[in-house]
Amino acid sequence: MNYDVLILPGILFNMFRCVVTGKKDAPAVILLHGWGASAAAFGPIAKALENEYRVIAADMYGFGETPHPDRALTVDDYADGVMETAKALNVETAVVLGHSFGGRVAVKTAVKYPALVRKLILVDAAGLKPRGVVFKRLRSKIHKILKKYNDRGLKGSLDYEAASGYLKATLVNVVNEYQEAEAAKIKCGALILWGGRDRDTKAYMAYRYRRLIRGSELHVFKDAGHFSYLDRTAETIVLIKAYIGGE
Amino acid sequence: MINCLLFYGLDSPEHDVSVVTATEIMRNAPSRGIRLIPVYGKHGRWFTGEELAEITSYAPFDEKRFAEVVVSGKTLYKLKRGKAKAWIKADCALIACHGGAGENGALQGFLDVNGIPYCSSGVFASAMGMNKAAAKTLLSAKNVPVTKWKLIKASEKESALAGLKENDFPLIFKANNGGSSLGIAIAETAAEAAAALESAFKFGDEVICESYLTGACDLNVAVLTTNGKMTLSEPEIPFKSGKILSFADKYTLKENADDLPESAVSDSDKAEAVRLAAIVAEALGTEGAVRIDFLACKEGVFFNEINTVPGSLAAYLFKEYSFTDYLRLLIESAAEKKEAATKRYADTGLLKLKPKGVRRR
């Protein structure tokens, strides 16, 4: 078997550090993890694909072993990172799979670099404007008023509290960007996989993504959560393989 | 693009093993240029759906969650509210049924009639593989050594037990039509023989009674026949926890696999097993992957049984292939059989003859 395991340093080339496995000359699959996760989160998926594909699991800026640059990033910067990484690996065209925050990056990449993204797979992807924004606006007002008095205000989300330094600023940039307009511009279609019991990116977002992306197909795993691909690994693998293998 | 149907399940004592093999296949299936469609048989009906890849879908199996399908010719139809809708055209089939109708030639015959080529042995080899007595009869005619054996019908139970002599023991009793080690027992005395016979009859209507070779070692050889080319695997000595290879040994986790009695079998015995395996495969005309089990002991190497649909399709015996590449090889070779499988039809003109000389009254 012709296995090629490669670990690339991230900082030098302005790209992601990646775990690359699988056959060298096979079609590439780029895996983009969610917020707070890393390349390792795709273990079983990468393993199932490496027999037939070149699997590139990235650690995106600020996660895993790729450091975060000393400035606040936007989703655009992450999409550029995907492109740089692909260039460095001589990947011209690839299947891009994004989970959660990785889904935002994948959508952005598909719009910004349509030549790179041959097929798109979104798993419990973020990026759409969540419901209940009015309440959130009210909450931020309260936060601002409180901050005046006790200098701390309300607590942020779990991700926000866990982040530090520039990553915190990046998170603010990222969650405040809504990608409805971009999703509508995607031309390559998409396979959308979702957990029916997802509490972070709820299932209504899955249906909205399906409506927005032309030629997309949706599968909802009834009893799965936000990490639906880990709850229903075998089924996910079968669906992914059927989607990217048929050509 | 090759559409390959994966048939598995069916009502057999080895249903669960079949499900394990099939989910394993689905997870490792090749995808580039090949689409594998699971077709799960349950009580005479067929079901499909991606969810079948999850092992949790089977305990218990909720048929409402899956689409029912029917096979007519090469076309797979989805049933919806009693109406069949053409869904997919099959190019070939992969059989992952262990025991029962999926391994004894019945499913193979069904696929032959439908004109769907498949990557495993045909009706004859499958039927012979499932019938231990028939296989032994045929193979002894080809000079393949077999142990002394006798077939016992349900009606002959008492007379058979009465006819056993002291120096016949130890004996081993198996269901003639079973596989997978279920209902196998060794008897050292007449009392044990009665119990062993009873347990074997639970798994079939006929029981085969063989002399048990003391100190014999199991030796398995896999034979892969694709596109008319035969490849033989290295002989493997399966791990066993007792005197015989039990169901649990074969399919549950092996924790102390280091205890393999590697040294127990000489190299010449191994070479003999490989030689015999080629004869057996040739004589039965097997296709795809089969596993042939031998017994090696002081007296020589004896044919024990043949599995025409072995567990995991015997992929682990061919170390040169990854499971994915192995499946690709099997599926592609079956799809190439397309021409051979088309039905032969000779137009004799018989049906076009107009009756002559028959006068109407």
Domain that includes residue A240, residue range: 6-129+179-245
pLDDT above 90 coverage of chain A, percent: 56
Quickly count: other Cβ atoms within 10 Å of residue B54's Cβ: 19
Q: What is the mean pLDDT of residues A109-135?
A: 90
Give domain status of residue A149, yes or no: no
Using a CB-CB cut-off of 8 Å, the residues of chain B touching A234 are 23, 26-27, 53-55
Residue B315 lies in a domain: no
Do B197 and B244 lie in one domain? The reply is no
B206 and B235 co-located in one domain = no
Instruction: Tell me, yes or no, whether B41 and B185 share the same domain.
Output: no
Report yes or no: B29 at the A interface, CB cutoff 8 Å: yes
* A20-29, B120-129, B331-340, range with the lowest pLDDT: B331-340
- Find the Cα–Cα–Cα–Cα dihedral A130, A132, A138, A140, rounded to 10°: -20
Distance, in angstroms, between A232 CA and closest chain B CA? 7
Q: Determine what percent of chain B is predicted with pLDDT higher than 70.
A: 88
Q: Which pLDDT does position A204 carry in this prediction?
A: 93
B299 touches chain A (CB under 8 A): no
User: Where do the H-state alpha helices sit in B142-246?
Assistant: 157-162, 190-201
Question: Does A69 map to a domain?
Answer: yes
Instruction: Give a yes or no: residue A100 inside a domain.
Output: yes
Same domain for B88 and B206? no
Q: Which of B27, B55, B320, B325 to mutate to test the interface with A (most CBs of A within 10 A)?
A: B27
Same domain, yes or no: B270 and B132? yes
In a domain, B105, yes or no: yes
Better-scored residue on pLDDT, B221 or A88: B221
pLDDT of A158 higher than 70 = yes
Nearest chain B CA: its distance from A116 CA (Å): 19
What's the confidence (pLDDT) of residue B85? 94
pLDDT for residue B253: 45
**pLDDT higher than threshold 70 for residue A29:** yes
**Closest chain B CA to residue A230:** B54
CATH classification of the domain holding A96:
3.40.50.1820
Q: Do A51 and B34 touch (CB under 8 A)?
A: no
Query: Buried b / exposed e across A153-176, counting CB within 10 Å, b at 16+?
Result: eeeeeebeeebeebbeebbeebbe
Do residue A238 and residue B32 have CB atoms under 8 angstroms apart? no
Shared domain check, B158 and B111: no
Query: Chain B contacts of A235, Cβ < 8 Å?
Result: 50-51, 53-54
d(CA B34, CA B22) in angstroms, rounded, equals 16
* Same domain, yes or no: B247 and B194: no
The least confident of A144-153, B60-69, B133-142, B243-252 is B243-252
The pLDDT assigned to B297 comes to 87
Q: Which of A55, A119, A233, A241 to mutate to test the interface with B (most CBs of B within 10 A)?
A: A241
- The pLDDT score that the predictor gives to residue B184 is 81
- pLDDT grade for B231, boundaries at 50, 70 and 90: very high
Per-residue pLDDT band for A9 (boundaries 50, 70, 90) equals low
Query: pLDDT grade, residue B360 (50/70/90)?
Result: low
Question: What's the pLDDT at B195?
Answer: 85
Task: Find the CATH number of the domain harbouring B271.
Answer: 3.30.470.20
Instruction: Give the domain-ending residue among B164, B190, B211.
Output: B211
* Helix segments in chain B, DSSP class H: 15-28, 106-114, 123-130, 132-141, 157-162, 190-201, 247-251, 267-284, 323-336, 338-341
Domain that holds residue B54: 2-119
CATH code where residue B44 lies: 3.40.50.20
- Nearest-CA distance B264 → chain A (Å): 32
Domain boundary among B211, B231, B255: B211
Mean pLDDT is lowest, of A238-247, B22-31, B252-261, for: B252-261
pLDDT at B243 over 70: no
pLDDT at site A3: 46
Q: Do A245 and B50 touch (CB under 8 A)?
A: no
Poorest-confidence range of A28-32, A105-109, A151-155, B268-272?
A151-155
Is residue B359 included in any domain, yes or no?
Answer: no
Asked if A235 has any chain B CB less than 8 Å from its own CB, the reply is yes
Does B317 map to a domain?
A: no
| Cβ <8 Å between B35 and A242 | yes
User: What is the enclosing helix (H) or strand (E) of A194?
Assistant: strand A190-195
Q: Does B331 touch chain A (CB under 8 A)?
A: no
Nearest to B29 among A241, A244, A246 (CB): A241
In a domain, B361, yes or no: no
Which residue has better confidence, A95 or B254?
A95
Task: Answer yes or no: are the C-beta atoms of B281 and B289 closer than 8 Å.
Answer: no
Same domain flag for B136 and B241: yes
pLDDT at A217 over 90: yes
Together in a domain, B109 and B140: no
- What does the pLDDT look like over B64-98, one tens digit per residue? 889 999 999 899 999 998 899 999 999 999 999 99
Please tell me whether residues B242 and B161 are part of one structural domain.
no
Residue B270 is assigned to a structural domain of this protein: yes
Q: Is residue B323 part of a domain?
A: no
Asked if B219 and B273 touch (Cβ cutoff 8 Å), the reply is: yes
Q: Of B27, B31, B51, which has the smallest distance from its Cβ to A245's Cβ?
A: B31
With an 8 Å Cβ cutoff, are A52 and B31 in contact? Answer: yes
pTM of the model: 0.86
**Which of B53, B324, B325 lies nearest to residue A238, judging by beta carbons?**
B53
Asked if B89 and B236 sit in the same domain, the reply is no
ipTM of the complex: 0.81
User: Which run of H or of E encompasses B36?
Assistant: strand B34-42
Chain B hits for A241, CB-CB cut-off 8 Å, are 29, 31
The mean of the pLDDT values for chain B is 86
- Evaluate whether residue B330 is within a structural domain: no
Band of the pLDDT at A30, cuts 50, 70, 90? very high
Of B35, B53, B325, the CB nearest to A235: B53
For A235, the closest of B30, B31, B54 (CB atoms) is B54
Of A99, A109, A93, nearest to A43 by C-alpha is: A99
Q: Indicate whether A152 pLDDT > 80.
A: no
Residue A165 lies in a domain: no
Query: Which of B19, B25, B31, B325 to mutate: most A Cβ within 10 Å?
Result: B31
Domain count, chain B: 3
Contacts of B1 in chain A (CB under 8 A): 246
Q: Are residues B170 and B247 in the same domain?
A: no
Residue A164 lies in a domain: no
**CB-CB under 8 Å, A234 with B53:** yes
Distance of residue B109 Cα from the nearest chain A Cα, in angstroms:
29
Q: Which residues contact B142 (CB under 8 A, 6 or more apart)?
A: B279, B280, B283
Taking the CA of residue B28 and the nearest CA in chain A, the distance in Å comes to 6
Nearest CA-CA distance, residue B158 and chain A, Å: 51
Edge-first strand order for the sheet with B217-226 is B229-232, B217-226, B288-297, B300-307
Q: Which of B34, B50, B55 sits opposite A238 (nearest CB)?
A: B50
Which 24-53 residues of chain A touch chain B by CB within 8 A? 27, 48, 51-52
3-class DSSP state of B221: strand
Contacts of B28 in chain A (CB under 8 A): 48, 51
Name the residue among A52, A238, A246 with its Cβ closest to that of B26.
A238
Question: CB neighbours of A61 closer than 8 A, spacing ≥ 6?
Answer: A10, A16, A67, A68, A69, A73, A77, A78, A81, A170
Closest C-alpha to B38, from B96, B107, B99: B96
When divided into structural domains, chain A yields a total of 1
